[in-house]
Amino acid sequence: MAAKHDYAIGIDLGTSNSCVGVVRNGRVEIIVNEHGDRLTPSFVAFTEDERLIGESAKLQRTMNPANTVYEVKRLIGRKFSDEAVQKKLPHLPYRVVDDSGNPKICVRYRATEKIFTPEEISAMVLAKIKETAETFLGCEVRRAVITVPAYFADSQRQATIDAGTIAGLQVLKIINEPTAAAIAYGEDTNVTEETNILIFDFGGGTFDVAFLTMKKGHYDVKSIEGNSQLGGRDLDSRIVRYLIGEFMKKTGLDVTQDPKALAKITRAAENTKINLSCQMKDHVKIESLCQGKDMDLVFSRNRFELLCADIFDKTMQCVDTAISNSGVTSDKINEVVLVGGSAWIPKLRKMLEEKFPGKEIKRTINPAEAVAYGAAIQAAMLNNDRSVEDIQLTDVTPLSLGVQLTGNVMSTIIKRNTKIPASYRRNYTTICDFQKGIRFSVYEGENNIATQNNLLGVFAAEGIEIAPAGVPSVDVTFSLDENCILNVTAVDQTTGGGGHMAVSLDKGRLKREAIEDMERRNRALTNASTNLKDTIIKKKNLIERKMSLKKISQKGYEKMKRICEEAEFWLEAHTDATKAEYDAKEQQFNETFSELLEDHGY
């Protein structure tokens, strides 16, 4: 695909849906997919014949639940033993296995069991989004800004960058979702005076609150709070649980062990949640749910609010914490901006109105598209698009970072809500006589007990001064880049010895060689598909030219046009063919075309 322009796109890689935007001709456009939709489901499905991504994959959830993968955003960058992963596993219809401490997804594809990392699944969604953008723009897209929840940990941010790399994208920057939404809001409303904004971002799988000060082109984040395991999916789960219970009361049937029935109920729960944002009751009807029995009941908004009351309360607690950490009082907040699909829920709006009396609760920007909109602006700016005004953005780190001391004490080096990029240093010494090195365990979190926080990695400072305990002087420096990814160095002040650790690549994440190999395979596959596509276009142009010059018979023209169309149909039906299959198809197509041209050309 020839590059006519050099666009960079902004991607909101969501738990439930993904969205992509681009700045073109000086304005932001949210890109529609092949179905004409502005949101693409973050689903990947595997069948005996093909791999499906997006809407077609989501449709597989009820008929092929064990091989339909979604919500990988809740697995990416985590360890298999993480509490959040273990809580999620019983609710996933597909199999997640423990591979050397890392969660991997196991599916059946083309009559073979396949295992994928969460990064690979996310890369498939990103590659689909990249392809959608390329079709829309008519040129190749190589660069992107990708958003993540503000409360994503170091390893989750690095894993997201890895997924982008595998998908063939250069990730210009990782940006926090509420920050991207603030950029969208600022550009949409053209704020000229300094304004205190609270971003309330309730997405499909994550929840974030950001407090920031905003003035035209300037975005200064003061504090962030959130929960990367709290979102609209959790509201769906409450409805699902209720519906299962009601069905059991009525029929005596337990559907919890029936994946297809569960998938049907989950889909109904999603629709009910959406419907209750604009009506007081919803009729839930699922024909032949289990053993020929139907589900048929009325579910009220009041029931929904009671079932989810504790979740709504948790979001308000996060709001209180964000304000408290910002150092200002709630009365200083000028506006509250709702972002994310679940932010439409009337109960949440009412709770925010009560918390901020007299303040406007704004939905002037589309909550489902705001994050991609802001990411697109940031992408254009980083891509040196002169049609975009320069943005000055100051973000903060969501979690404190430090090392474990004797007694399992957390020694914090960088405090939460520190402006990034940042670099801080602390001095440490030995506890035993004549130590040859110091072993540092690096954690992120707010607990004074180190092991109650999230372990990022372990490294050793070697070559230190061999001396009695307390004599060596070792400086440990923590450096956070603009993506909020951590690097650690340690230097002995006497010997110059020490160590270095790129923490984000530690703790069992994908190795650089594996990422590069995945990216190579993805690029080879893309090239093979593109080569076949280009060959078909060239042959079509050739027969049109020959026909116009009367150098081919009408019969030959029709035959060659038909095999070109057949090749195009094959491409559409085999979006997940292997490189060998693409190459074989191209060779067969060329041979057939040449034979026809020889028989019918003159």
Number of neighbours of residue 550 by Cβ within 10 angstroms? 9
Contact partners, residue 599, CB within 8 Å, separation at least 6:
556
**Residue in the structure block whose two tokens are 């943005």:** 391
Q: Catalytic residue among 177, 270, 465, 519, which?
A: 177
- Give pairs for 534-537: CB < 8 Å, separation 24+: 535/586, 535/589, 535/590, 536/564, 536/567, 536/568, 536/571, 536/589
* Bridge partners for 500 per DSSP: 489
Q: Catalytic residue among 58, 73, 173, 559, which?
A: 73
Longest dimension (CA), the chain: 95
Q: Is 114 a catalytic residue?
A: no
Q: How far is Cα 594 from Cα 543, in angstroms, rounded to an integer?
A: 11
At 396, is the secondary structure helix, strand, or coil? strand
Q: How far is Cα 60 from Cα 57, in angstroms, rounded to an integer?
A: 5
Closest C-alpha among 391, 396, 397 to residue 376:
391
Cβ burial of 357 (10 Å; 0-12, 13-18, 19+) is exposed
Contact partners, residue 464, CB within 8 Å, separation at least 6:
430, 435, 436, 437, 438, 472, 474, 492, 494, 495, 497, 498
Q: Catalytic residue among 71, 201, 236, 335, which?
A: 201
Q: How far is Cα 7 from Cα 137, in angstroms, rounded to an integer?
A: 8
Q: How far is Cα 289 from Cα 539, in angstroms, rounded to an integer?
A: 51
Q: How far is Cα 220 from Cα 394, in angstroms, rounded to an integer?
A: 5
Q: Is 12 a catalytic residue?
A: yes
Closest C-alpha among 133, 125, 161 to residue 44:
125
Q: Is 201 a catalytic residue?
A: yes
Q: How far is Cα 448 from Cα 515, in angstroms, rounded to an integer?
A: 35
Q: Catalytic residue among 12, 71, 131, 282, which?
A: 12
Task: Decide the pairing of beta strands 419-420 and 454-462.
Answer: unpaired
Q: How far is Cα 163 from Cα 156, in angstroms, rounded to an integer?
A: 10
* Bridge partners for 147 per DSSP: 12, 175
Q: What is the DSSP letter of 233?
A: H
Contact partners, residue 182, CB within 8 Å, separation at least 6:
197, 199, 210, 212, 214, 219, 221, 337, 374
Residue type, 70: Y
Task: Decide the pairing of beta strands 68-69 and 51-53.
Answer: unpaired
Number of neighbours of residue 190 by Cβ within 10 angstroms? 7
Q: With beta carbons less than 8 A apart as the criterion, state whether 107 and 94 touch.
A: yes
Contact partners, residue 566, CB within 8 Å, separation at least 6:
none
Number of neighbours of residue 314 by Cβ within 10 angstroms? 15
- Cis peptide leading into residue 259 (ω within 30°): no
Q: Is 576 a catalytic residue?
A: no
* Bridge partners for 259 per DSSP: none
Q: Known catalytic residues?
A: 12, 73, 177, 201
